[in-house]
Structure 1
Amino acid sequence: MSRTLIFTGHRVDAPDRAKTRFPPRLVEAAGRAIGKAIDELAPTDAIASASRGGDILFLEACRARNILTTIVLPFSPDEFERRSVAAVEQGDWVARFRALIAATPPEQLIVLDLNDEPDPYGACNLAVLKRAQAASSSAPVLLALWDGKGGDGPGGSADMVERVRRAGGWAVIINPATWDRGHGTGRAAF
């Protein structure tokens, strides 16, 4: 039986971010938590975008486990890199993004043309969800690296969690904001 796992997650904080959400110091811990959740969920395939931080960590962890991955981008890889990957020196996100894109077969790289869309990231979330629903007869399963708060704008992790909830799915939430308090991963059925 196939199990498609979709992912949403915060980007690593840019140096000028006013309120810390996913600081670079938590990247290694996030990578371990994502890998552990993937092992527990045992997906046969995975779908995500490829922003710096959570998305890239998820895709790398899936590929290390030989899980078939599909990458969905709202813009061309060059435009997406400029908007959603670059801006943080630490972590070598641009090189990691480029390596993922280069290793992705054309049929597993979905590039949407959403430059003129008022909510391109929300539309990308919807495309990820619809692709997962088409691939599986069961309710959507989401892994989210998310602090449980509203996003900076439309189309972020909060948006995806809400879309999965409305679709009757469930989520495993990895909350980096709770790691200092000894918590971190929880399952949320909607």
Structure 2
Amino acid sequence: MSAMLPATPAVVALAGRRIDAADAQPARFPLVNTDRVAARIAAGFRLVGAAALVCSAACGADLIALDVAAKQRLRRRIVLPFEPSRFVETSVQDRPGDWTEAFWKQVGAAELEGNLVVLQPSGNSIEDYRRANTRILEEARAVARAFAPATPSLHAFTVWDEALRPGVDATAEFRELATMSHFHIVTIPTL
């Protein structure tokens, strides 16, 4: 028996864990789990009837989701907290795995399609990432409006280990903000 697809399309806003550093303790998203997480994201997209994805482009959850969305031919919009050259240094190439080529491929495609949003940095990296999370949700609503007269459902996928990190936890903050913004919350486990 096949699952019924939703009657209206869905727009997915997504945030989640980056791939763990080589010496990470505890494990939150080991590199070895990338294929498993990609399969979970793909299943989640199909389950909600995703037509579009809005996220950032960090190594791990973001780049995996963007790749899955490309394979499923979903519209993709990328939000970066600051210029791509700085972002690739701080959020892409500093972890195990070969993420840099995927980053530039996704960012290049988004830019060509008019779907790359680059925010002006504030000088405070933590605040820049918080602003990016807020903007991801705002952009998801904007993408949903483009489907008029259809009214897509809005989903927030959090791709994580479901355990709060000490200090600032951008994924947990994204989930809380999405809940307050009345998005349907979907958890994609990384472990």
TM-score under structure 1 length normalisation: 0.85
* Counterpart residue number, 1:147: 161
Equivalent residue for 1:127, pick from 135, 142, 167: 135
* Counterpart residue number, 2:92: 85
Q: Secondary structure at the match of 2:120?
A: coil
Q: Which moved more, 1:132-141 or 1:98-107?
A: 132-141
* Structure having greater relative contact order (Cα 8 Å, sep ≥ 6): 2
Distance, in Å, in 1 between the alignment partners of 2:134 and 2:141 is 10
Partner amino acid, structure 1, of 2:100 = V
* Counterpart residue number, 1:183: none
Regions of 4+ moved over 4 Å: none
Distance, in Å, in 1 between the alignment partners of 2:57 and 2:68 is 13
Distance, in Å, in 1 between the alignment partners of 2:18 and 2:93 is 11
Distance, in Å, in 1 between the alignment partners of 2:28 and 2:118 is 28
TM-align CA RMSD: 1.8
Residues 1:152 and 1:103: Cα distance change in structure 2 (over 3 Å): farther
Residues 1:72 and 1:60: Cα distance change in structure 2 (over 3 Å): same
**Contact 2:9-2:153 at 8 Å conserved across structures:** no
Equivalent residue for 1:3, pick from 10, 34, 56: 10
Structure 1 residues 130-182: Cα deviation after superposition (integer angstroms, max 9, x where no partner):
112233356631112112222354461111110011112221101223xxxxx
Partner amino acid, structure 1, of 2:90 = R
Gaps of 5+ in 1: 178-190
Question: Shift in Å at residue 62 of structure 1?
Answer: 0.5
* Counterpart residue number, 2:49: 42
1:101 aligns with 2:115: no
Equivalent residue for 1:15, pick from 19, 22, 27: 22
Residues 1:153 and 1:135: Cα distance change in structure 2 (over 3 Å): farther
* Counterpart residue number, 1:165: 179
Partner amino acid, structure 2, of 1:86 = Q
* Counterpart residue number, 2:38: 31
Question: Shift in Å at residue 5 of structure 1?
Answer: 0.9
* Counterpart residue number, 1:185: none
Distance, in Å, in 2 between the alignment partners of 1:140 and 1:153 is 29
TM-score under structure 2 length normalisation: 0.84
Structure 1 residues 75-95: Cα deviation after superposition (integer angstroms, max 9, x where no partner):
1111000010012242x1111
Q: Secondary structure at the match of 1:12?
A: coil
Residues 1:152 and 1:106: Cα distance change in structure 2 (over 3 Å): farther
* Counterpart residue number, 2:77: 70
Gaps of 5+ in 2: 1-7, 145-150
1:61 aligns with 2:62: no
**Contact 1:133-1:139 at 8 Å conserved across structures:** no
